[in-house]
Structure 1
Amino acid sequence: MRKFGLIGKKLGHSFSKKYFTEKFEREGITDAAYELYELPRAEELTTLLQQEPELVGLNVTVPYKEQVIPLLDELDEAAATIGAVNTIKISNGRTKGYNTDYVGFKSSLEEFYPEPARKQALVLGTGGAAKAVWAALDALNVPYLRVSRKEGEGQLSYTQLTSEVLSDYNLIINTTPLGMYPQVEEAPELPYDNITDQHFIYDLVYNPNQTKLMQKCAAKGAKVMNGLLMLHRQADAAWNIWNIEY
């Protein structure tokens, strides 16, 4: 039995096990199982691999997408460039890190944010998921600014998001866990009165289906999307990586 799974600190929000279990049933895959592994620290990955020798593939979620990198034997070139890992392939006792968040986000954004509407983006958050988003925006030639609690070079603080800024940046991408189940009433501190029907809001959170951020922006006429399509596409890309023999 080949084992796959997801590692993270808290996984109560995750749909990954459901997605892969249904995939295995739908496609008649009988030699595979997918489990959730909550780890108190990223370093517990080493212990997990010792305890579960049948593991051949892992997904990685917050807050470990950057922290697992020094624990791996090898990095895929794209993951090294991005600086974050969300997929690990385990083969012959060696681990190699990949980033399929980039694949899932880029393809879904292209469908959601049509080329004629493209201007500039604000990316909320600066963690591992944000790094994949930055790389995808670079590939699509969409200029962006990072938004965090503190300002910096190429980075605004939330208090600097004025009406003028929002009029110039019509794509807002939330890469933070704000609003994720079970804290569903949370939302990023944005000047929601300045959101218009010209804005596109992409929230990487997918549980709940419509986050508080999405609700508040949709009420202003903005186009909104959650991260479920990204989840499915990055999962399919991970499955392909795990099943490549080399």
Structure 2
Amino acid sequence: MEIDESATGAPNPFAPAFQMGLIGRGIQLSRTPAMHMAEAQMQGLTCRYDLIDTDVDGDIPLAARLDRAENDGFAGLNITYPYKQEVMALLDEVSASSQRVGAVNTVVFRDGRRFGHNTDHWGFCESFRRGLPDAKRGNVLLIGAGGAGGAVAHALSDLGAGCVLIADARPDAAVALAKAIRAAGGQARTVSDPTLAAAGADGIVNATPVGMAKLPGVPLDTACLAAHQWVADIVYFPLETALLKAARAVGCQVLSGEGMAIFQAVRAFELFTGRPADPDRMRATFRSHGQSSTAV
């Protein structure tokens, strides 16, 4: 159905109503609900978006949470830390990109089946293309090989990284991700010390939760940073993490987690509703929440 660009945002009584949600840990200040609900309203749709925070009611298994959402008529769920890999075993079908990345962050319920997608991959690619279009991509250091790290690693490879250097506190996770990148035709290897590896990198990406307001700190010794490098972070509360602040101070180009958060939501909205979302409107909603909140 073609969207009427002149819509005033008033709900259309004949349009379908959508219910979505986000499952994750510590997500009470997420901006994701606002982005989806505001976009739905602008398109004349009715949308409810719930937060399912396992820090609040953590005793319920993930499988039971999916069952409940599906039985309650949800169109789908966004999935965030730490469930992007665990959820894959609970789905009927998983997209090719999700299989390659090894993680799902968007689940769509349709016709009695569950479909898994990964919009983080496209979200990071789109953010990088717009935010660091001319950045050198020879060796790129990636810190974090979890669900988000997998999406970012494959995105970096698709963006033309000569070699993705992967560091993770769990060596087996880093090895598995590097192997997956090579199997997909890219180049990747593991590194044990991100601070030492940073010296030979054109760019550095933090794909761990370190730097969030609830988990302050930096994922490497920032004394290793040099002005010729670029530094990206997927954390976006705060938008300028300690890592990005240190990188900016020495003259690095920086990329915050804002773009990835917005563009993954743009793609998820279309998967949930069948209608394309407006990135500029979603960005405006994201920014309207200021630094007083976070999103996933």
- Where relative contact order (Cα < 8 A, 6+ residues apart) is larger, the structure is 2
Q: What residue in structure 2 maps to residue 43 of structure 1?
A: 63
Query: 2: CA distance between counterparts of 1:186 and 1:107?
Result: 27
- Give the distance between the partners of 2:124 and 2:145, measured in 1 at CA: 16
Displacement, 1:178?
0.7
The answer on whether the counterparts of 1:145 and 1:155 sit within 8 Å (CA) in structure 2 is yes
Match of 2:209 among 155, 167, 177: 177
CA distance in 1, matches of 2:221, 2:210: 16
Whether 2:144 is the aligned partner of 1:114: answer no
Contact 2:36 2:269 in 1 (8 A): no
Gap regions ≥5 residues in structure 1 = none
- Quote the Cα distance in structure 2 between the aligned partners of 1:62 and 1:32: 24
TM-score by length of 1: 0.88
CA distance in 2, matches of 1:100, 1:230: 9
Comparing 139-148 with 32-41, greater Cα deviation is found at 32-41
Matched, 1:96 2:115: yes
Percent identity, aligned pairs only, is 29
**Is 1:55 equivalent to 2:74 in the alignment?**
yes
The answer as to 2:190 corresponding to 1:155 is yes
SS in 1 for 2:27: coil
Deviation of 1:86 (Å): 0.5
1:216 counterpart = 2:246: yes
Counterpart AA for 2:258: L
User: By how many angstroms is 1:114 displaced?
Assistant: 3.1
CA contact (8 A) 2:231 2:244 kept: yes
Q: How does 1:131-170 map to 2 (within 5 A)?
A: 131-142=150-161, 143-149=163-169, 153=175, 154-158=189-193, 161-162=195-196, 165-170=197-202
User: For residue 87 of structure 1, what is the aligned residue in structure 2?
Assistant: 106
The equivalent residue for 2:42 is 26
Q: 1:202 to 1:116 in 2, by over 3 A?
A: closer
The equivalent residue for 2:217 is 186
Query: Helix, strand or coil: the match of 1:169?
Result: coil
Q: What corresponds to 2:287 in structure 1? A: none
Q: CA deviation at 1:223?
A: 1.4
CA RMSD of aligned residues (A): 2.0
Question: How far, CA to CA, are the matches of 2:239 and 2:199 in structure 1?
Answer: 27
TM-score normalised by the chain length of structure 2: 0.74
Q: Give the paired residue count.
A: 238
Q: 1:72 to 1:199 in 2, by over 3 A?
A: same
For the 8 Å contact 1:150–1:156, the answer to whether it is kept is no
Instruction: State the 1:13 CA deviation.
Output: 4.4
Q: Could you tell me how far apart the structure 1 residues matched to 2:49 and 2:264 are?
A: 15
CA distance in 2, matches of 1:74, 1:109: 29
One-letter amino acid matched to 1:170:
D
Asked if the contact 2:222/2:243 (under 8 Å) is kept, the reply is no
Equivalent-residue separation in structure 1 for 2:171 and 2:66 (angstroms): 36
- 1:232 equivalent in structure 2: 262
Q: Which amino acid aligns with 2:266?
A: D
Q: Counterparts of 2:208 and 2:62 in 1: how far apart (Å)?
A: 19
> 1:14 — aligned with what?
30
Q: Which amino acid aligns with 1:176?
A: T
- 1:48 CA displacement: 2.6
